Structure 1
Amino acid sequence: MNQFNASRLLPLVACVALTARAVAGPAPVPSLAVIQGQAPEKAKKITLYAVDEGRKTEIANAVVNAQHAFAFAVPAPKEGFYYLSAGDRGGDTRIYVKSGDQLKLKMDNGAYIVESGSAENKQLQQWNDQLRVISKPAGLGDTSSYVSFFPKLEAFVPKVASLKKTVNTPNKKFNELLQYTMDVDVEYAALLFLMTPRSKHPEHSQYPAYYQQVVQNKKFCDSKLLANGEAAGILRLYAMFTHMMAKEKPKTFPSLEQMSGLFCNDTIKGLFITESLGGYRTFETLTEAVAPVKKYLVTDGQMQRYLAAEKAVRKFATGEVGFNFTGEDMSGKKVAFNDLKGKVVVVDVWATWCGPCKAELPYLQQLEEEMAGKNVTFVGFSVDEEKDKEKWAAFVKKQEMKGVQLFGAGWSDITKFYDIKGIPRFMVFDQKGNIVTIDAPRPSTPELKALIEKTLSNG
């Protein structure tokens, strides 16, 4: 049986296991999109990707059966481009999915045939077949050179305007997206060819005129690019191409701020920034590069990818900058870690349901009294769930808990960032907001007080 694994990234209401025979059975649920077909020879698995902010995101996979068949059922899909991949059996197959679609196709090493399905997919297949004139020789395994590619590109480009006019499905949203995407596809194929290592490369003077129009003052202002699963690669190629084509080469490679300035849509800038994070190997170089452009990380997904990159290069060593976590205080006001700079900060990650946390409370309150008047702030950060917020507030009042009491609504960013899997967890930060330790002794031992006093004296 083909297996279907749903992802939380789509509003799926059920996980459905389908065989090719089952697909042909009872009338489909109106909101259910069914994608089935024949896999390339020797393919073992087909993976289905959705597009999330210009990036392919795996949402399901189907095991190919003995007849080379596969099937997916996607309840209430978000309308747009999706991709099917057979792994190393050719390139990804781009399809268009909306609620109620019944798509049957045959995949063959990057090419495909729509045997039955929506008008959108039949139109998309036509374009894919036409585009292969220039997109097929872009892979690493191809041995063609610019001598054969450039004439094909020059012959194809003038045809695109007329090909756009043939896009006439009943779906206006799809028509506009495909017409926009056709220009993007041509540019991507043209740049990918140049940037792929080959035995023979042209001089700039040998480039066709098409390449002269690629570089623009402001590029990719239309958010439609984010519907394309190749958007991240398209942005990287364009940035590399502009650097390569610069009349006066800078002595150093352009900064992240300069490169993101090539684009005029903030979300697209954010995508380019997050796709560039892997090039930084230390926390210092990463944060320095991102600081001027962090304002362009405008979506939750982009910020999460940045935080993951930051975490990957951190060692959580003494002297590293502390994570700027936030929580809600008793009055409902948002308080950020950076707001507390200037004092030694002692953070207690706890919850009302945690017995060991409550056992430490008398010792913590005693320590707070002993440190009264000194340049120290004690922060209680609760990981109680949102449903227990009133319980948390009542507990804080009843126990007369002092310091800064924050509510994190579950295992939030602070626990994910510092990889906290058990509580209580005590952490100490110096007056500059830098880490002293993210695994400090508990208040029930004298070592915590000694550590705080040492940090105060070093400040």
Structure 2
Amino acid sequence: MKKAFLLAACAVLTVMPSCARKNASTVSATDKTEQTAVDKKKVNVKTLPLTVTTGILDTIKNNYKGKVVFIDLWATWCGPCRKAMVSVDSIKPELMKKGAKFVYITGETSPENTWKEMIPNIEGDHYRLTKEQWKSLCNEKFVRGIPCYVLFNKDGSVAFSNLNEGGYPGNDLMKPEIEKALKKK
């Protein structure tokens, strides 16, 4: 019995310092915003404080007051998500020049290393939520699957949303919706 207890205690003491290091790096990472340029693409990695566990979409939206914001909920392992991003890339430069912001949100189901490898090729602002934050966002907005999208007008009102349906509606629909939102005062 003593032997089992000592082995368990040693195992806990061995694991705890590495957990503490992970938590410390996570906390400091929440304060960082990185900007990189890859093939002239600007990528901003943004994080939410770990304490934000409700109102996730509103919290992110509030970072873009006065801007038209196209938000894409996606995952690195989602083939339709990646295919839609390629499609959006053909309209994105023109719309960004007019002032539209593109924001990409994923959760912990996207392995961090894979996510970090992918985002330099996806121009825009990127958020990787914790498991709790992702679950909260999906529950609050009734997200049924990914990819799904929401477009906010400059005043923060919703111009377009398919959070409840999912799937990319196509550039033929989204480009005019974004342009219409950009023209609104």
**Aligned-partner Cα distance in 1 for 2:62–2:148:** 20
After superposition, the Cα gap between the structure-2 partners of 1:348 and 1:365, relative to the gap in structure 1 and judged at 3 Å, is: same
Q: Does the aligned pair in 2 maintain the 1:352–1:358 contact within 8 Å?
A: yes
TM, length-normalised to structure 1: 0.26
Q: Does the aligned pair in 2 maintain the 1:367–1:449 contact within 8 Å?
A: yes
Deviation at 1:323, TM superposition (A): 4.2
**Aligned-partner Cα distance in 2 for 1:409–1:390:** 15
- Please tell me whether residue 373 in structure 1 is matched to residue 88 in structure 2: no
Q: Which structure has the larger Rg over C-alpha atoms?
A: 1
Deviations 1:45-102 (A, max 9, x none): xxxxxxxxxxxxxxxxxxxxxxxxxxxxxxxxxxxxxxxxxxxxxxxxxxxxxxxxxx
- Residues paired across the two proteins, number: 129
Deviation at 1:437, TM superposition (A): 2.4
The answer for the alignment partner of 1:292 in structure 2 is none
After superposition, the Cα gap between the structure-2 partners of 1:428 and 1:357, relative to the gap in structure 1 and judged at 3 Å, is: same
Q: Does the aligned pair in 2 maintain the 1:385–1:409 contact within 8 Å?
A: no
Q: Does the aligned pair in 1 maintain the 2:106–2:129 contact within 8 Å?
A: yes
Which structure carries more relative contact order (alpha carbon 8 Å, separation 6+)? 2
The answer for the alignment partner of 2:65 in structure 1 is 341
The answer for the alignment partner of 1:446 in structure 2 is 172
Structure 1 residue aligned with 2:125, among 393, 398, 404?
404
Q: Which runs of 5+ in 1 are unaligned?
A: 1-299, 308-321, 326-335
**Aligned-partner Cα distance in 2 for 1:323–1:349:** 10
Aligned-residue identity in percent: 26
| Aligned partner letter, 1:350 | W
The answer for the alignment partner of 1:413 in structure 2 is 136
| Aligned partner letter, 1:403 | G
Deviation at 1:409, TM superposition (A): 2.7
Give 3-state SS (helix, strand or coil) of 1:412's partner: helix
Matches within 5 A, 1:34-49: none
Q: Which runs of 5+ in 2 are unaligned?
A: 1-50
Deviation at 1:355, TM superposition (A): 1.0
Q: Does the aligned pair in 2 maintain the 1:381–1:407 contact within 8 Å?
A: yes
How big is the alpha-carbon RMSD for the aligned residues of Structure 1 and Structure 2? 2.4
| Aligned partner letter, 1:446 | D
| Structure with a larger share of its residues in helix | 2
The answer for the alignment partner of 2:183 in structure 1 is 457
Deviations 1:241-274 (A, max 9, x none): xxxxxxxxxxxxxxxxxxxxxxxxxxxxxxxxxx
Structure 1 residue aligned with 2:82, among 332, 345, 358?
358
TM, length-normalised to structure 2: 0.62
The answer for the alignment partner of 2:21 in structure 1 is none
